[in-house]
Amino acid sequence: MRSRVVAVTIAALLVIAPASAARADGLVPGDGFTGTLAPWFATGDLSPRVGNGELCVDVAGNTPLAWSSIVGVDGVPIAAGQSYELSFRARATSSAAPTIRVLVQQPVSPWEAQYEANPTLAAATTDYSYSFTALADLPGAQLAFQLGAAPADFTLCLADVTIVEQDAAPVEPETGTAVRVNQLGYYAEGAKRATVLADATEPLPWELHDADGAVLASGETEPRGAEESSGANVHVVDFSAYVTNADGVSLVVDGESSHPFDIGARVYDSLPIAALDYFYYARSGIEIVDGNPDDGDDYSRAAGHLGVAPNQGDTAVGCTPPESFTGGYTCDYQLDVSGGWYDAGDMGKYVVNGGIAVYQLQSVWERSKSAYGALADGALNGPEGGNGVPDVLDEARWELEFMLGMQVPAGEPLAGMVHHKVQDTRWTGLPLLPADDPEARELHRPSTAATLNLAAVAAQGSRLWERYDPAFAERLLEASRTAWAAAKATPDLYAPDADGNDGGGAYGDSDVSDEFYWAAAELLLTTGEPEFADAVEASPWATADLYRPDGFTWAATAALGRLDLATVESSYSGRDAARASVVALADRYLAAATAHPFGIPFEADTRFAWGSNSAILNNLVVIGTAFDLTHDERYAAATIEGMDYLLGRNALDTSYVTGFGSTYSTNQHSRWFAHTLDESLPPPPVGSLAGGPNVGLEDPVAAQAFVAGCAPQRCYLDDVQSYSTNEITVNWNSALAWVSTFVADQTNGETTIDGPIEDYDPTPWFWAIGAALVALGVGAFFVVRRVASAGRRDRASRRNPG
């Protein structure tokens, strides 16, 4: 989900230079503060003093937002593609060094930033200089110094503020070793391949070394030539013939060594748990308690959006004022929409994004045939451990309850429809804990898409919860039926793209035929009723080719219905056709993965777009489902190998999953996992998936860094402000949870389970132990879990000792 830039840290572009005279050829209007303030402006809380080349203001501390206090000037002419140097002299008298925001931006809403920086001011006058390249033509851009939200009162004095043209100096990311491997490891009995970036056109010698440097295997690379997505000439190394367990091995090609990795039978065991634990840390409306604060990062935080000042809360939220919403919709009721997950790095909660994430978490359980780790009661961080319910269902329920709360009450206009989202009225800054969010909250107009999302996941959840909580299962099914009926009555209430200018993303969608198909499929599988069978058969998606190069998404959900029609036991007459179509779809992704020198299920011309890592994972979901349907080992092997790219076998030599590998993403875009902006806050938790390369470069930080262009796989920055390449979202982590659980089930590259979910029931001893743990206060569980968690984190730290 797109989060507007509100604070940028680009250390590579900051230069503290010796004091120098003002540049006479600058583009900033005004007389250099020698006469009057004009054409500069100041907000009403400030009393600017101008003279002798300085602008000074007294700024109150502890204001809620950076833009509470501003000095600035309009009329700065900038041209797209032109590089500039912004410089100024500043000093600040204060008991605490304030950090301010400096922006070159549109002078009117939506205030899109061309560049933004966050200098921390000193008491002594210091020269600051920044380089940036304009992203758009703005004949009258605004230069703004946003001074609010400082920890204490301060006095700021500015002088010699200039912007001048200069030559471009783009930032290039470092790319590590040329030998790209899955930094987590490989199954001993499975495929083991790596990709090498090398100019050579002839085969190169390779050796597999143990931790002491002894040679375990050797051979020659397979040259694959120029590869467009990486912008490099590549070779592939296949060392699958080595089938012995080994820790800390490395692959050496033509004298250059890879990062160390493991070969064994259980290399993936901890990844699904970490991927699923992410959701607890993303919860809204509940105090988060870190089960292992001794590891150096404390994820504990107060409950967000429960109305404890300054937070205005989600317990009684009204609708968006009609004048601020396209179509003029409003309502006269308030809803308790507390709970649920924060969608991404902001405070928004979006039904359509939560819907696909709930679906995938519930599918993690529905496809599973065992009580494997991440699915067992008590395996995850959430507080529900020991309640006799698989943790993954408990986690999905947290969002399901929120989605139920978003349904329009009976007796109101559009009763049974579901509000599209709840969000802040304005974007908040980074960093910011959810409990400290001061903005008012508002419900946005119901949409047919959101309504059908609830209909689908509530129907799916009803059949899964029947064995654990029949009353909740009945409530879910009733809500699903109500939503289905409401969507049929109002089939074209679309979420507009225009509803994303401030405070939250739009999630616009003007084609909901796919959501109708998905919801009908889930209701059919849960109820077996002819009405829903007829709706499935009448849908244009019933026989449509579902192939999408970049996979299914929150806005393209027909595949979700088809996958479940194919895999869930039912009397549906079209099940065989659904199964065949899923396998045929998987074959296309399998062919792409087999041909790709990085092993990913993308065809050569597939665009790396926003959330490309989730697109890869969702294509792997299809391939993995084909294995569930056919037990053809080719599909399992391709799904496993597809994880290599995410864990380091890529053009940037980085793992996109925090805590897994030698070098991994640590600065994903988030307001509260924002350690680089506030050292008191933690980084993203282990198991967080970064969005990945995005050729669109749709944030100022990425656009500045790659102003000279980038090969698709290289269009990524591990920067907290690069929201278009480095965001975290619940529906990306849900895809990681599904695939990593599937891969972990393939112990040593061979499946450990078979048979449909209906064949599995927990053995009596398992639940007896669970009951005993509950009776004992679950004390033993927490001891074991602390040790296990520490072990997981220690393993990650050993892979990244720096």
Q: What is the pLDDT of residues 755-772, one digit of tens each?
A: 333 333 333 333 333 333
The one catalytic residue in 277, 718, 719, 745 is: 718
Q: Domain 11-166: state its class.
A: mainly beta
Output DSSP code: residue 443.
Answer: E
| 326 — pLDDT class (breaks 50, 70, 90) | low
801 versus 120: the higher-pLDDT residue is 120
Least trusted range by pLDDT, from 65-69, 220-224, 509-513: 65-69
Q: How far apart are CA 169 and CA 325, in angstroms?
A: 41
- Name the residue among 170, 237, 234 with its Cα closest to residue 209: 237
Are 329 and 321 in contact, with CB atoms under 8 Å apart?
Answer: no
| Active-site residue flag, 227 | no
| Active-site residue flag, 442 | no
Would you say residue 3 has pLDDT above 80?
no
Would you say residue 294 has pLDDT above 50?
yes
Domain 270-691+727-759 has CATH 3.40.1260.20: no
Q: How far apart are CA 454 and CA 403, in angstroms?
A: 7
The stretch 612-634 carries a mean pLDDT of: 97
The one catalytic residue in 346, 366, 395, 550 is: 346
**Amino acid letter at 150?**
A
3-state secondary structure 320-367: CCHHHCCCCCCCCCCECCCCCECCCCCCCEEHHHHHHHHHHHHHHHHH
Mean pLDDT taken over the chain: 87
| Active-site residue flag, 31 | no
Are 334 and 317 in contact, with CB atoms under 8 Å apart?
Answer: yes
3-state secondary structure 371-411: CCHHHCCCCCCCCCCCCCCCHHHHHHHHHHHHHHHCECCCC
Run of H or E residues at 782: helix 779-799
- Classify residue 24 as left (phi > 0), alpha (psi -120 to 50) or beta: alpha
Q: How many CB atoms lie within 10 A of CB 677?
A: 20
Q: Domain 179-264: state its class.
A: mainly beta
pLDDT at 605: 84
Q: How far apart are CA 521 and CA 538, in angstroms?
A: 12
Q: What percentage of the chain exceeds 70 in pLDDT?
A: 87
Q: What is the pLDDT of residues 712-749, one digit of tens each?
A: 999 999 999 899 999 999 999 999 999 999 999 998 76
State the number of CA atoms in the 13 A half-sphere of 117 facing the CB.
21
Run of H or E residues at 248: strand 246-253
The stretch 449-459 carries a mean pLDDT of: 98
**Amino acid letter at 799?**
R
Q: What is the pLDDT of residues 464-520, one digit of tens each?
A: 999 999 999 999 999 999 999 999 999 999 998 888 767 888 999 999 999 999 999
138-141: Cβ within 8 A, 24+ apart: 138/76, 138/77, 138/78, 138/106, 138/107, 138/114, 139/77, 140/74, 140/75, 140/76, 140/77, 140/107, 141/74, 141/75, 141/76, 141/77, 141/78, 141/104, 141/105, 141/106, 141/107, 141/114
The one catalytic residue in 669, 699, 719, 745 is: 669
Q: How far apart are CA 631 and CA 639, in angstroms?
A: 13
The stretch 583-593 carries a mean pLDDT of: 98
Would you say residue 263 has pLDDT above 60?
yes
pLDDT at 110: 74
Output DSSP code: residue 664.
Answer: B
pLDDT at 761: 38
In our burial notation (b when 16+ CB lie closer than 10 A, e otherwise), range 98-131 reads bbbbbbbbbbeeebebbbbbbbebeeeebbbebb
> Which residues, other chains included, contact 36 with Cβ-Cβ below 8 Å and sequence gap of 6+?
50
Asked whether the bond before 272 is cis by omega within 30 degrees of 0, the reply is no
Least trusted range by pLDDT, from 50-54, 167-171, 458-462, 782-786: 782-786
Q: What is the pLDDT of residues 378-412, one digit of tens each?
A: 889 999 999 999 999 999 999 999 999 999 999 99
Would you say residue 774 has pLDDT above 50?
no
pLDDT at 6: 35
- Name the residue among 72, 43, 73 with its Cα closest to residue 58: 43
The one catalytic residue in 343, 424, 641, 727 is: 727
| 458 — pLDDT class (breaks 50, 70, 90) | very high
Q: How far apart are CA 226 and CA 236, in angstroms?
A: 12
Strand order in the sheet with 232-238: 179-180, 193-197, 232-238, 222-227
Q: What are phi and psi of 606, to 5 degrees?
A: -70, 130
Would you say residue 776 has pLDDT above 90?
no
pLDDT at 554: 97
Would you say residue 638 has pLDDT above 90?
yes
pLDDT at 392: 95
| Active-site residue flag, 669 | yes
The stretch 24-44 carries a mean pLDDT of: 88
pLDDT at 800: 31
Q: How far apart are CA 584 and CA 41, in angstroms?
A: 63
Would you say residue 13 has pLDDT above 60?
no
- Say what the pTM is: 0.82
- Can you list the positions of beta strands (E) in 113-245? 113-117, 126-133, 138-146, 154-166, 179-180, 185-187, 193-197, 205-209, 215-220, 222-227, 232-238
Here the tokens at position 765 are: 């001893």
Would you say residue 286 has pLDDT above 90?
yes
Would you say residue 12 has pLDDT above 50?
no
**Amino acid letter at 727?**
E
Are 65 and 310 in contact, with CB atoms under 8 Å apart?
Answer: no
Q: What are phi and psi of 568, to 5 degrees?
A: -85, 130
Here the tokens at position 226 are: 């120029």
Angle subtended at Cα 357 by Cα 351 and Cα 359, rounded to the nearest 5 degrees: 100
600 versus 790: the higher-pLDDT residue is 600
Q: How far apart are CA 528 and CA 531, in angstroms?
A: 9
757 versus 227: the higher-pLDDT residue is 227
CA 564 to chain centre: 25
Q: In the block, which residue shows the tokens 């009393």?
A: 47
Least trusted range by pLDDT, from 56-70, 218-232, 449-463: 56-70
Angle subtended at Cα 685 by Cα 352 and Cα 115, rounded to the nearest 5 degrees: 70
Are 476 and 462 in contact, with CB atoms under 8 Å apart?
Answer: yes
Q: How far apart are CA 282 and CA 380, in angstroms?
A: 14
